[in-house]
Amino acid sequence: MASERRIAGPESKNRGALLDAAEALMLDEGYAAVTSRRVAERAGLKPQLVHYYFRTMDDLFLAAIRRRIEQELASQAQILRAPNPLRALWNALIDNRDFGLITEYTALANHRKALRAEIAAAAQQFLEAQAETVRSVLSRHGIAAEDLPPVVATSLIVGTAQLLSMHASLGLSGGRDDIIEFFDRHISKFDGTAET
């Protein structure tokens, strides 16, 4: 009778190091560079440990995605508590050093169909959390959803920040300062006290 292979629990320090290594490889070299050997090497661990913690590489990617979701949703909750959540959201997006991860996860979803649903669900959760932040701010300032739908405002903020991040990753800077100044000027309207 064959025994089931043991898989380590989710709270291990080595498991976290492997997930960190996978994300670092994705950022540095793209998702295709994420192999068990390369991840272990980057984490300073033995290659066998990758499959001790994750049955397959898809399981490693799923764990990385789920961890990122938890981190981003916690960050979004913090943004919602900021004095001006729109400014906090904009600043978080515009200073997003993880834009490369978004690009890599999108490419991964296109090439690994088994991961597409999980990546799409994660993206949807982020968008919903961001839209809730925007809806909350607009509502507190007496702006009706009919006048400025939260999903439209969210798309403008998130889409513009992602475009600027993409431009920065390519070394483009034309118009960046003007765009940031424009958004800062309009977001500053929400720096004051909300309507009561």
Identify residue 57 by its one-letter amino acid code. Answer: M
On whether both 12 and 103 belong to a single domain, the answer is no
Instruction: Say whether both 118 and 145 belong to one domain.
Output: yes
pLDDT class of 123 with cuts at 50, 70, 90: confident
pLDDT bin (cut points 50, 70, 90) of residue 9 is low
One domain for residues 146 and 90: yes
Per the prediction, the chain carries an average pLDDT of 89
CATH code: domain of residue 23: 1.10.10.60
- Write down the H helix ranges in 81-112: 85-94, 99-111
Which residue among 35, 55, 75 closes a domain? 55
- The whole domain housing 37 covers 7-55
Average pLDDT over residues 142-156: 93
**Cβ 75 vs Cβ 128: under 8 Å:** no
Q: What is the pLDDT of residue 4?
A: 56
Model confidence at 132: pLDDT above 70: yes
What is the CATH number for 173? 1.10.357
* Residue 43 and residue 63 in one domain: no
Residues 181 and 98 in one domain: yes
| Better pLDDT: 132 or 41 | 41
Task: Please tell me whether residues 149 and 63 are part of one structural domain.
Answer: yes
Please give the model's pTM, rounded to 2 decimal places.
Answer: 0.81
CA-nearest of 89, 194, 67 to 141 is 194
Q: How many domains does the chain have?
A: 2
CA distances from 100 to 47, 111, 165, 186 (A): 25, 17, 9, 27
The pLDDT tens digits for 21-40 are 999 999 999 999 999 999 99
* Residue 158 and residue 134 share a domain: yes
